[in-house]
Structure 1
Amino acid sequence: MDRRSFGQGTLAAILAGTVARELRAQEAAAGEGWATSWAASVQGPYPVGNPSAQPNQSFIFPDPAEGARDMTLRLVLRPSLWGRRARLRFTNAFGTRPLRLDGAHIGLQHSGGALVPGTKRPVRFAGAEGVTIEPGGQVWSDAVDLPFAAEPASPLLMGRKLAVSFHVAGASGPMSWHAKALQTSYATAPGAGSRGGEEGEEAFPFSTASWFFLDALDVSAPAATPVVVCFGDSITDGTASTMNGDDRWPDVLARRLNAAMGNRVSVVNAGIGGNQVVGPAEYGPDKPFPGGPSALARLERDVISLSGVTTVVWLEGTNDFSRNGNASLDAARDGMREGVRRLRAAISGVRVIGATVTPALGSTSAAHGHAEQDEKRKGLNAFIREGGLFDAVADFDRATLDPATGGLRPEMIPDSTIGGPGDKLHPNRAGYLAMGSSVELASVVPARR
């Protein structure tokens, strides 16, 4: 058959397939595999959680029990690492009905709810356009070639964001979500149908400051690529940092590592606002808690099951010692010992870094700021520094403590998300910058010999 007998679309498809096969061959020759590049630890069901700067969601989800209904979500996320191929993990972890998703696409965000023209690619599941996820389940998509990331090391990709669009067919029922995205994403009206194939933003008039159903993004990367998971509570999740500013302390750490190593390391955020090491004792759709399941209860899903994990930085404890948690110092220490034991048993060679808990003395939050909490915090910090459990220590207490008051340094208190005086519990942008800048890079990603 003469090449001229092909239609233009057919020829383009053949060429695209040839490029995809060549990219896969290059990856195989280079010993490439999957590395998690973004994550959002899920909780549920919506609306139980601690979102920040959340718009009114009643236009999108008028009945939380019914959840999302015949509508398309366009979720915006920033990869920490770029690769020529990607795959997505969708979850129904805290759902009570089968979740049907279809019409999924991935592309570069232009701005707002619009995509960069020509970057959109369909996402499939075992070759099919849609997938049903049973209650408590999760599923990975098929691999998607990303021609716009054909040069993953290009500095022009650094900081760019992806838009992942998908249609919720029927009514989802109770929704698994990550409340505190600190990133604006977009949604159609209920009943609008499958609109993810559209590059424009006209079909997406509504916004949300949370992520729903999507909890991980993997990219193809060399097998030795370090993947650092930052595990913790709202101070890892980024409460009081800048909305859409990507200035949580894990973001600062990621930029420092990128400056030193280029596009050869991934830092992902596994924080949940209000999270505790050991509480609550029970968690599920029928027994939700704003801080999500305990660190120990979610360790498998939110850390161990991610791809290529090499290092975990664990910052947690302040909520255990709050009036909501009321945990003893021994309980928190024992919980950390158990968590580190599980990590080392599950991930060969993993480095686990203990982060000291930042001060909250004098907080305006009703649950925080009291003297007993501060004494337990100091005890936990002494254990983290001196107990021999961790491979290294990130001393965030030292980076944020005002010796004159025993609380946060005054310049780190005003809220960067919504303005105002702050709560003397959550560091602002200045505080997170100090925290992320204080981490010894060699403790997170040691030099290879």
Structure 2
Amino acid sequence: MISPKSTEQPSIATLTTADAGTRTIWHGAWTAAVMRPSAAPWFPTWAEDGFADQSVRQIVRVNAGGTKVRIRLSNAYGAAPLQVTGASIGLTAEGAAVRPDTIRQLRFAGSPSALVPTRGRIVSDPVDLPTRPREQLTITLYFKDATGPTTHHQLSMTTSYRAAGDHHRDPSAAAYTDSIEPGFGSWYFLEGVETSGGGPRLPAVVAFGDSITDGFGANVDGDDRYPDALAERLAAAGRPHPVLNAGIGSNKLLTDSACGGDSGVSRFARDVLDQPGAGTAIVLIGINDIQLNDDRMCGVDLDDPPVTAQRLIDGHQALIRAATARGVTVVGGTLTPFQGSAGWTAEGDEIRRQVNRWIRTSGAYDAVADFDRALDPDGTGSVPDALHMGDHIHPSPAGYRAMAGAVDLADLAERQ
């Protein structure tokens, strides 16, 4: 069953702002599934050290436009309340620069600063800022006092920037001389962007999973993950479903990981069902349970319980029950091939095939997105070289486009 850990933070739907009591309808435009701070085993981040008298500039591409915008900040894994000294938002110019005519000071219950409770979240007051789907926004947070280790999203595939001192209202990129190179980027404390106004739109599609949803193998700053490609398909089809990416690299369905986030069954409610306007969830998770049977990649000497096809099926059924109870359509994504990768075994591949047979034939999911066949149409058990990034498991941008093409747009919920 879904773990009670998913309800530790207040539901997004219960958060109040200065416009509480109005009839404003907010839609999820962008999200990142948050994680505890840890030493990344693959690339450096700023999460363990945190920030002190520094401004952090983060760029996101929204998938729902509107006339007003607000942000959500999370301190879900904080050991103490988080003091945000100042914050701003604006349309991205280039790199760390913001279009000067669009930069807006963000307030929280009328104040330019905010205190985010330990293990809590807050939402900013709305600001007038016309945005279009697939437009980039830049959010800047200034922390005067030391934050300590940060709640973050480890794999953003997007460059974040840091400046010494308070530059949160500065449209110029001049002070933002610090970014992590080489690296794949991270987001810090930023959990969501919401928009309102601008006309009707269809319910959001939330892509849920591991690094293949998160987008490892896509181009850094390229916004060409599979959820991005799906958003482009929907825009071209004239169907304004916002697509929200709730993937976490190295995430598992059944067990928590020190550097791969809380398990899928424990975070599903927070990261999918609580999203504003969520209508459809696309679930693609389980390959890390199969290939990573311990947490040693995170420096933790802990073996996971033995993984079987039935245990993974039970986990998928828990997600289905939770989505159905909330009226969310749930699409099952078949587990993608990984022969040739470092974690492949014949036994593990047989578990993957058994789970895929269940996803395709059981009727438990409302619909199926056959990502396995999209990446391996001949059923070889391997991803062709043209469709993976070089490690035989993570798709390339071309592979991500193939995955997006496997989603039948008719399967997406038209109403909440």
Shorter-chain TM-score above 0.5: yes
- Give the 3-state SS of the residue equivalent to 1:110 in structure 2: coil
Go from structure 1 to structure 2 and tell me whether the alpha carbon gap of 1:332 and 1:246 turns closer, same or farther (over 3 Å shift).
Answer: same
Go from structure 1 to structure 2 and tell me whether the alpha carbon gap of 1:47 and 1:68 turns closer, same or farther (over 3 Å shift).
Answer: farther
Which residues of structure 2 form unaligned runs of 5+? 1-18, 294-303
Checking the alignment, whether the CA contact within 8 Å between 1:105 and 1:123 is kept in structure 2 is: yes
Matches of 1:94 and 1:47, distance apart in 2: 15
**Residue equivalent to 1:270:** 246
Go from structure 1 to structure 2 and tell me whether the alpha carbon gap of 1:252 and 1:118 turns closer, same or farther (over 3 Å shift).
Answer: same
Matches of 2:266 and 2:345, distance apart in 1: 27
**Residue equivalent to 2:308:** 328
Give the counterpart of 2:404 among 436, 442, 445: 436
Alignment of 1:397-412 (within 5 A): 397-401=372-376, 403=378, 405-412=380-387
**Residue equivalent to 2:330:** 352
Matches of 2:116 and 2:379, distance apart in 1: 53
Checking the alignment, whether the CA contact within 8 Å between 2:201 and 2:241 is kept in structure 1 is: no
**Residue equivalent to 1:233:** 210
Go from structure 1 to structure 2 and tell me whether the alpha carbon gap of 1:186 and 1:323 turns closer, same or farther (over 3 Å shift).
Answer: closer
Give the counterpart of 2:344 among 358, 365, 369: 369
Q: State the structure with more CA Rg.
A: 1
| Cα displacement string for residues 206-252 of structure 1 (whole angstroms, at most 9, x for unaligned residues) | 12411000011111155663200000001000111111111111111
Matches of 2:307 and 2:112, distance apart in 1: 47
- Give the 3-state SS of the residue equivalent to 1:114 in structure 2: coil
Give the counterpart of 2:32 among 40, 55, 79: 40
**Residue equivalent to 2:264:** 295
Alignment of 1:275-286 (within 5 A): 275-280=251-256
**Residue equivalent to 2:64:** 81
**Residue equivalent to 1:90:** 73
1:343 corresponds to 2:315: no
**Residue equivalent to 1:382:** 357
Checking the alignment, whether the CA contact within 8 Å between 2:209 and 2:246 is kept in structure 1 is: yes
- Give the 3-state SS of the residue equivalent to 2:144 in structure 1: strand
Number of residue pairs the alignment of both structures matches? 379
| Cα displacement string for residues 37-86 of structure 1 (whole angstroms, at most 9, x for unaligned residues) | 10010111143476xxx5x65xxx5xx65521121101000001111111
**Residue equivalent to 1:425:** 393
Go from structure 1 to structure 2 and tell me whether the alpha carbon gap of 1:172 and 1:212 turns closer, same or farther (over 3 Å shift).
Answer: same
Go from structure 1 to structure 2 and tell me whether the alpha carbon gap of 1:207 and 1:342 turns closer, same or farther (over 3 Å shift).
Answer: same
Structure 1 position 330, deviation (Å): 1.2
Structure 1 position 168, deviation (Å): 1.6
Go from structure 1 to structure 2 and tell me whether the alpha carbon gap of 1:274 and 1:65 turns closer, same or farther (over 3 Å shift).
Answer: closer
Checking the alignment, whether the CA contact within 8 Å between 2:38 and 2:259 is kept in structure 1 is: no
| RMSD between aligned residues | 2.0
Checking the alignment, whether the CA contact within 8 Å between 1:362 and 1:370 is kept in structure 2 is: no
Go from structure 1 to structure 2 and tell me whether the alpha carbon gap of 1:395 and 1:402 turns closer, same or farther (over 3 Å shift).
Answer: closer
Matches of 2:143 and 2:41, distance apart in 1: 21
Matches of 1:383 and 1:438, distance apart in 2: 18
- Give the 3-state SS of the residue equivalent to 1:312 in structure 2: strand
Checking the alignment, whether the CA contact within 8 Å between 1:74 and 1:166 is kept in structure 2 is: yes
**Residue equivalent to 1:12:** none
| Cα displacement string for residues 399-431 of structure 1 (whole angstroms, at most 9, x for unaligned residues) | 111637421122113x2xxxxxx1111111111
Matches of 2:99 and 2:157, distance apart in 1: 22
Go from structure 1 to structure 2 and tell me whether the alpha carbon gap of 1:143 and 1:404 turns closer, same or farther (over 3 Å shift).
Answer: closer
Checking the alignment, whether the CA contact within 8 Å between 2:67 and 2:128 is kept in structure 1 is: yes
Matches of 1:275 and 1:65, distance apart in 2: 19
- Give the 3-state SS of the residue equivalent to 1:219 in structure 2: strand
Give the counterpart of 1:174 among 149, 160, 163: 149
Matches of 1:109 and 1:183, distance apart in 2: 13
**Residue equivalent to 1:69:** 52
Matches of 2:235 and 2:379, distance apart in 1: 35
Structure 1 position 98, deviation (Å): 1.5
Matches of 1:145 and 1:94, distance apart in 2: 31
What residue identity is the alignment partner of 2:259? P
1:258 corresponds to 2:235: yes
Alignment of 1:166-205 (within 5 A): 166-188=141-163, 192-205=164-177
| Cα displacement string for residues 294-316 of structure 1 (whole angstroms, at most 9, x for unaligned residues) | 01111122112210100000001
Checking the alignment, whether the CA contact within 8 Å between 2:203 and 2:279 is kept in structure 1 is: yes
What TM-score does the superposition give when structure 2 sets the normalisation length?
0.87
